[in-house]
């Protein structure tokens, strides 16, 4: 299965299990979504469970918060993470705080699905990685899968979670893993272990990282598309790195991170998002705070630049093999 | 430059500022009974005059007249009057409690009591109100325990919201009163989503939401109306037009160009404009809209035309931006006095009964405040500090647990 099919499968399965799950968003109904993630669901479950919404992110998320207060489990879609900002007030001021401010009288068990990340010539408003805007908000969980297998298991867990979950889908790897070399022909998920998606219900707990590859020389922390780029680059360089796919930024699996960095003594953080105040800054800080006496080199981060995401200059912006390779070389120097 | 006139930027100004003579004579007030009452299942296209009328039932002599007269039993009227007076008594005393340093903040709803009380009485158990911070009357009409309000305002150890919320941002699910937030307007769309959920579940519950006239300028207003219209959500969407958004007069929100009820026209839902100081008119209009919603005919927008008689909050001094005596000239009067006059007209009330009711209610409020003070006023008593870390998520994650330990708990 590719990641779209895995997401579609998770939605299908959960809707069949729980009549309180409803899906709404722009073009998600009859058409099945601009990325086909909701294809066939309206036909199967009916118009009142999977329906098109007006082009209004604040309205979509606001209506979802109201539905959740009633007792439903809405799974709204925001077409691109780049367009989530009109809904920020609803996420930050309402969904994230509902349980806290009402002392549990009202809750927001919502899962907001949104395609994110670059590498597709999406330019400024089809490429952003705004995860740090949400990890900074108390009361929100932020999940980013890197394989179809994880996408299904994590989405099921997110939908079942009783708190609001931001579920960002790296659209660059919807159809296949991407090693960061844009000149290579694109691959599909066929043959990749992460593309083997079991039928039926299973879930991956939120807050548990996945060790993609065990190693001794260096710890690499990544999520989304960058997991595959890291894997390719480090294999290419023949370095015995331990690559960790965080999967869940909040809650974060700090135990796995700490154990790994304490073993390897070196840490590289990679994300597509811009650098300043990005989630990498939090990771670097946590590693510094908790693994300082084990560190043998400064913690490095390779990220998007502090510029808007450019169009034709995409591959200069994207934290690709060259920049990751240089950071690895610096870390491995001693 | 041609001889065409130069452009000028228009900045609306209220009729009167501090020191000016108040003059509301330019305001067109339709007389009681003048605005027609269409059947609830009437087509929206046949109701497009209503947003420019004003639903009024009580005339200047206190008689109930016209097609909107809900013909309420005297007992119901007395219950309404009692809840309004209770709201006023509570507001007066807790405003004073702020001045005495017992709490950090308070907001009164003086002059607007008819709205929240009548609407609370019209809606049923199981319906949900999405309030603003100025609808205390909703809770009073449903006999919410005064002590819980006081404890929330004092943020003490018995605060139902565990000291997490600013005073008066109540949450009372069992009383059909949704969790308040300081972000204005952000819950207007929740009401629509909640109503959509009720419809999805083939339930019979409806939602009622409030937004102030100033906040109609927020996108949330447009969003809620769009969704309500598109999905025919069973919701009653109310604009409480009390003329003032802190220091900003309603003209800055667009009131000089059209009515707030008329905003409904663009969304294809009925819009009613109602005398918000007329308990019977508010009752009748709400009942009409609620029946329409329950009959699966969709949402209604109601503008409740009233006047914010008090300052915006304990942090506000209205004499800095409007005439100090403006409320005395407000042509729609005082909602309590008008309902009282009506009951007296009916021979169902007297000045003496009124005075003794005020005394009784003030006593009840005083006793509640005393009981709250016994637990503790702001800073004198607090919920356990551990409560700060509860309820961020259903189950706290390691960060929250570690941060709690930083405080030694």
CA A126, CA A103: separation in Å to the nearest integer? 38
**Tokens representing residue B261 in the block:** 């009820």
CA B206, CA B233: separation in Å to the nearest integer? 9
pTM of the full predicted structure? 0.97
Write out chain B residues lying below 8 Å of A102, CB-based.
161, 171, 173, 179
Interface of A with B in 200-239 (CB under 8 A): 207
Give the 3-state secondary structure of A179-215: CCCCCCCCCCCCCCHHHCCCCCCCCCCCCCCEEEECC
Write out chain B residues lying below 8 Å of A76, CB-based.
none
Mean pLDDT, chain B, integer: 97
Q: Give the model confidence (pLDDT) of A86-122 as tens digits.
A: 999 999 999 999 999 999 999 999 999 999 999 999 9
The pLDDT value given to residue A66: 98
Q: A300: part of which helix (H) or strand (E)? A: strand A300-304
Contacts of A78 (CB under 8 A, 6+ apart): A25, A57, A60, A61, A84, A87, A112, A113, A114
Please name which of A199, A196, A247, A173 lies closest in space to residue A10, comparing C-alpha atoms.
A199
Using only the alpha carbons of chain A, give its radius of gyration: 19
| Phi, psi values for residue A108, rounded to 5° | -130, 75
Polymer length in residues for chain A? 334
Tokens 């139902």 locate to: B160
- Whether A94 sits inside 8 A of B187 (CB atoms) is yes
The pLDDT value given to residue A76: 98
Model confidence band, residue B3 (pLDDT cutoffs 50, 70, 90): confident
- Whether B171 sits inside 8 A of A105 (CB atoms) is yes
| Phi, psi values for residue B157, rounded to 5° | -60, -25
- Whether B171 sits inside 8 A of A107 (CB atoms) is no
Contact B210, B132 (CB under 8 A): yes
Please tell me which of the candidates B181, B230, B399 has its beta carbon nearest to residue A101: B181
Q: Give the model confidence (pLDDT) of B165-202 as tens digits.
A: 999 999 999 999 999 999 999 999 999 999 999 999 99
**Tokens representing residue A36 in the block:** 């086909």
CA A308, CA A329: separation in Å to the nearest integer? 28
- Chain B: residue nearest A165 by CA? B393
Tokens 């600013």 locate to: B166
- Whether B186 sits inside 8 A of A89 (CB atoms) is yes
In percent, how much of chain B has pLDDT > 70?
100
- What are the residues facing A244 on neighbouring strands? A211, A221
What is the sign of the dihedral through the CA atoms of B247, B252, B255 and B260?
Answer: negative
Q: Give the model confidence (pLDDT) of A201-241 as tens digits.
A: 999 999 999 999 999 999 999 999 999 999 999 999 999 99
* B4 in reach of chain A (CB within 8 A): no
* A94 in reach of chain B (CB within 8 A): yes
- Chain B: residue nearest A49 by CA? B200
* B172 in reach of chain A (CB within 8 A): yes
The per-residue DSSP string of A49-112 comes to: TEEE--S-HHHHHHHHHHHHHHT-EE--B-S-GGG-GGGHHIIIIIGGGHHHHTTTSS----EE
The pLDDT value given to residue B1: 58
Contact A194, A148 (CB under 8 A): yes
3 state SS of A168: strand
A278 CA: distance to closest CA in chain B (Å): 18
- Whether B179 sits inside 8 A of A105 (CB atoms) is yes
Write out chain B residues lying below 8 Å of A256, CB-based.
none
Please name which of B214, B208, B185 lies closest in space to residue B195, comparing C-alpha atoms.
B208
Residue B23 has pLDDT above 80, yes or no: yes
Contact B288, B272 (CB under 8 A): yes
The pLDDT value given to residue A220: 98
**Phi-psi region at A46: left, alpha or beta (left = phi > 0; alpha = psi -120 to 50):** left
Residue B44 has pLDDT above 80, yes or no: yes
Task: Assess whether the previous peptide bond of A258 is cis (omega < 30° from 0).
Answer: no
Please tell me which of the candidates B169, B193, B230 has its beta carbon nearest to residue A67: B193
CA A246, CA A146: separation in Å to the nearest integer? 9
Given a cut of 50, the residues of chain A with pLDDT beneath it are none
Write out chain B residues lying below 8 Å of A141, CB-based.
393
* B196 in reach of chain A (CB within 8 A): yes
Write out chain B residues lying below 8 Å of A69, CB-based.
128, 178, 190, 193-194
Over residues B141-167, the mean pLDDT reads 98
Q: Kindly compute the dihedral angle of the four CA atoms of residues B340, B341, B347, B352, in this order, to the nearest 10 degrees.
A: 60
Q: Give the model confidence (pLDDT) of B50-81 as tens digits.
A: 999 999 999 999 999 999 999 999 999 999 99
ipTM above 0.85, yes or no: yes
CA B216, CA B209: separation in Å to the nearest integer? 12
Is A228 among the residues known to form the active site?
A: no
The pLDDT value given to residue B2: 73
């Amino acid at each position: 299965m590719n990641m779209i099919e895995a997401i579609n499968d998770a939605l299908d399965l959960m809707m069949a299990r729980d009549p309180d799950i409803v899906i709404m968003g722009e073009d998600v109904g009859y058409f099945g979504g601009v990325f086909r993630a909701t294809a066939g669901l309206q036909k199967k479950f009916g118009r009142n469970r999977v329906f098109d919404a007006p082009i209004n992110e604040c309205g979509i998320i606001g209506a979802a918060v109201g539905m959740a207060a009633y007792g439903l489990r809405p799974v709204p879609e925001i077409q691109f993470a780049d367009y989530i900002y009109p809904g920020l007030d609803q996420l930050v001021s309402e969904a994230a705080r509902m349980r806290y401010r009402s002392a549990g009288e009202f809750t927001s068990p919502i899962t907001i699905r949104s395609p994110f990340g670059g590498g597709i010539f999406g330019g400024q408003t089809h490429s952003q990685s705004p995860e740090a805007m949400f990890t900074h908000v108390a009361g929100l969980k932020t999940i980013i899968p890197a394989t179809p297998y994880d996408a299904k298991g994590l989405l099921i867990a997110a939908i079942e979670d009783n708190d609001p979950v931001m579920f960002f889908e790296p659209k660059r790897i919807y159809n296949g893993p991407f090693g960061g070399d844009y000149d290579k022909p694109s691959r599909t998920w066929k043959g990749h272990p992460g593309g083997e998606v079991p039928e039926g219900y299973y879930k991956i707990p939120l807050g548990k990282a996945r060790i993609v590859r065990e190693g001794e020389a260096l710890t690499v922390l990544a999520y989304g598309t960058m997991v595959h780029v890291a894997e390719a680059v480090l294999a290419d360089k023949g370095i015995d790195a331990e690559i960790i796919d965080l999967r869940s930024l909040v809650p974060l699996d700090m135990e796995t991170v700490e154990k790994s960095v304490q073993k390897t003594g070196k840490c590289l953080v990679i994300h597509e998002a811009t650098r300043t105040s990005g989630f990498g800054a939090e990771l670097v800080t946590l590693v510094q705070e908790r693994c300082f006496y084990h560190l043998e080199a400064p913690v490095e981060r390779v990220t998007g630049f502090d510029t808007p995401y450019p169009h034709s200059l995409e591959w200069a912006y994207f934290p690709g093999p060259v920049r990751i390779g240089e950071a690895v070389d610096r870390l491995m120097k001693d | 430059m041609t001889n065409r006139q130069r452009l000028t930027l228009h900045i609306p100004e209220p009729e009167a500022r501090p020191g000016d003579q108040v003059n509301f004579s330019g305001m067109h007030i339709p007389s009681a009974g003048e605005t027609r009452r269409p059947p609830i299942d009437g087509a929206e296209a046949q109701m497009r005059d209503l947003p420019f009328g004003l639903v009024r039932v009580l005339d200047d002599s206190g008689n109930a007249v016209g097609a909107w007269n809900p013909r309420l039993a005297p007992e119901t009227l007395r219950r309404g009057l009692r809840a309004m007076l209770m709201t006023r008594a509570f507001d007066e005393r807790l405003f004073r409690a702020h001045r005495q340093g017992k709490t950090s903040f308070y907001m009164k709803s003086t002059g607007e009591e008819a709205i929240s009380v009548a609407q609370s009485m019209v809606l049923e158990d199981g319906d949900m109100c999405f309030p603003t911070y100025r609808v205390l009357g909703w809770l009073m009409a449903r006999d919410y325990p005064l002590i819980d309000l006081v404890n929330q305002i004092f943020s003490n150890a018995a605060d139902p919201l565990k000291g997490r919320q600013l005073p008066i941002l109540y949450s009372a699910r069992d009383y059909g009163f949704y969790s308040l937030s300081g972000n204005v307007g952000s819950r207007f769309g929740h009401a629509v989503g909640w109503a959509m959920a009720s419809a999805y579940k083939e339930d019979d519950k409806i939602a009622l939401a409030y937004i102030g006239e100033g906040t109609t300028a927020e996108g949330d207003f447009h969003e809620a109306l769009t969704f309500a219209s598109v999905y025919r959500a069973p919701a009653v969407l109310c604009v409480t037009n009390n003329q003032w958004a802190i220091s900003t007069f309603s003209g800055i929100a667009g009131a000089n160009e059209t009515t707030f009820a008329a905003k409904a026209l663009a969304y294809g839902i009925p819009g009613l404009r109602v005398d918000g100081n007329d308990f019977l008119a508010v009752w009748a209009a709400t009942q009409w809209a609620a029946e329409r919603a329950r009959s699966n005919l969709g949402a209604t927008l109601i503008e409740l035309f009233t006047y914010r008689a008090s300052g915006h909050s304990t942090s506000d001094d209205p004499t800095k931006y409007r005439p100090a005596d403006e409320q005395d000239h407000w042509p729609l009067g005082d909602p309590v006095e008008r309902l009282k006059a009506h009951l007296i007209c009916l021979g169902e009330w007297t000045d003496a009964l009124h005075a003794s009711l005020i005394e009784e209610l003030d006593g009840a409020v005083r006793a509640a405040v005393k009981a709250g003070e016994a637990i503790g006023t702001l800073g004198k008593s607090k919920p356990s500090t551990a409560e700060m870390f509860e309820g961020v998520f259903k189950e706290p994650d390691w960060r929250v647990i570690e941060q709690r330990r930083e405080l030694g708990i």
